[in-house]
Amino acid sequence: MELKEDHEKITLSEDTESEETEEREKWDKKAESILSMLGFCVGLGNIWRFPYLCMRNGGGAFLIPFLFFLFFCGLPLYTLEVTVGQFSGKGIVKVWDVCPIFRGVGFGISILSTISCSYYIIIISWTTFYLINSFKSPLPWTLCLEDWNTPFCRKKNHGPAGESVNGTQYNVTSSGYSNTSITLRNQSELFSTPEEEFWQGEVLHLSGGLESIGQIQWHLALCFLAAWVMVYLCLVKGVKTVGKVVYVTATLPYILLLVILIRGLTLPGSLDGVLFYITPDFERLKDGKVWAEAAIQIFYSSGIVWGALITMASYNKFHNKCLRDCYALVLAGEGTSIFGGFVVFSVLGYMAHENGVSIEKVVKSGPGLGFIAYPEALAKLPLPNLWAVLFFIMLLTVGLDSTFGTIEPVFTALSDSFRMWRKRRALLTALFSAVCFLVGLIMCTEGGMYVFQLIDWYSAAIAVPLFGFLECIAFGWIYGAEMFSRDVMMMTGQGIPPLIRICWCFITPTILLIIMIVTLNSYVPPEYGSYKYPPWAQVFGWFVAVIPLIPIPVFAYREIKIANGRTYMEKLKNSLRPNDQWGPNHTEERKRYKGENREYTGSLLENIVVNVTGKDIS
């Protein structure tokens, strides 16, 4: 009788697991999975941050530390997250069934993603506003006599009498807006460019600082609403809609980048820009900050630790050969960064040639490149409206792809944790979008740029490397690299290569620990132009940085408390072990997995060698 009851219980458990597996959505085609992960990795960090860092940190020499961190930090973590997601078929919260004490990492990533998407979409709204204005002729950011202009407005290469100018940077405050970058044309006259005045005065209506946050700019608020509507429509049915949208959003940027590069290389001065970009300055490699910036850039350009890779891979078919996908996607994503540099500097070289200044004078990073320097360069091309439309469509698609990958982990975490939301995806998407829209409206005010800069400065500074460090510890040592390699062997027929295991266990966590120490040691308060953030704003910034970390101790305490065991040590040990919900996202393989003897035997040294290399020395 007892045996029969036990058998019934086991059958019920397996049916429940099978039901969960069947309910999990899957990509219709492998191409959808590949394009979704590629689209997330190829974000604005590849287009407007990497080329600037490369130029500032030794040109082609910057590729040495960048490739070092790519292969010893980026690739191992990328491989870990994709294989974990595909094997378990779980999102960023439930995947921690493998080591419940770290479940707070999943909730922390969810919080970080929510914070990030709330301010990331403001970039899409700026892009939308520029795209709309790209259909006006002449382009409005080329004009100096509009309502938003100040008496200081001059084109860079033309003064009142057509004199050339020298490009020395200063700051001035005018009645229209503050902290405006302007240029000394000669010993007595100052000016700012129409592109800068359009950005600061018309798009942002920039105030004097956080102390004067100002009114909502309704043109930005409407673009912000339009951006959230686009995101809602693309995410409303989960992978069924995202999988179709990425055929456009993930491929179109490459086509447009190639078109802009071909056009850029035909312009005078473009070759100078390309040579400036790739010419190595090996002396810069002696500077530790160069290596630190290369390490941090990996997180921006590969998409690791943000939860998107685990989530997107969880929709893969169980036996998908994901290891080779990981290697190809990492190379494709970082190759896009390098390719994007050629696109940017070919046009900036032309821009420097036209203005008669050195390339350093026209190079900007982030929004300064996307919304000041590049629009200025596009305005100088034949058919400027055409090139402006193509450029901002490219930025829009890149931004949307990154947003999909940022938000989807949050939805998956909610639907995995609260199954009622699985059948109410449209309502969940609508509620999330509405809340984020209302919270993000503060960045549509006159002081919104200061809020954007503050959150961008602090939000991921500590959380991202810490989450990556804990992933390595959990899967490299607590669950074990050898144990997980067996899981991957079951899934793909190929185990984890020894070099990747060594990275998980030693090299990658060491690099992440150093990044955290360097980040804290080299901390400087944020600035925007000449505006220095007050102490209370810095305190708020650190609060934003700490919020994603709070779930780690909270859920560690909870998991220890609910774990099996009578003593504290028994509960602690059980909270470090996989629970009954951990296993393959495949019904038949799950049965085989449950029947295996997965305990380590032998001495501590023997177990360490097996864990790292996969070779038994006993």
Per the annotation, binding residues for Na(+) are 39, 42, 46, 301, 401-402
Closest among 179, 44, 184 to 116, alpha carbons compared = 44
Pairing of strands 190-191, 180-184: antiparallel
Q: From the CA atom positions of the chain, what is the Rg in Å? A: 26
SS3 65: helix
Q: What residue type is assigned to position 368 of the chain?
A: G
Q: Which of 28, 27, 227 is nearest to 132 (CA)?
A: 227
Reference 367, options 10, 127, 113, 31; nearest CA is: 127
> In angstroms, rounded to a whole number, what is the distance separating the alpha carbons of residues 416 and 88?
12
Residues 6+ apart with CB under 8 A from 436: 114, 117, 118, 121, 228
Q: Rounded CA gap, 104 and 231, in Å?
A: 27
In the block, tokens 């790519």 appear at: 70
What DSSP designation does 374 have?
Answer: H
> CA-CA distance, 47 to 337, in Å (whole number)?
6
Tokens of 29: 């085609």
403 φ/ψ angles, rounded to the nearest 5 degrees:
-65, -40
**Phi, psi dihedral angles at 99 (to 5 degrees):** -155, 80
Phi-psi region of 308 (alpha: psi -120 to 50; beta: other; left: phi over 0): alpha
Q: Binding site residues, as ranges?
A: 39, 42, 46, 301, 401-402
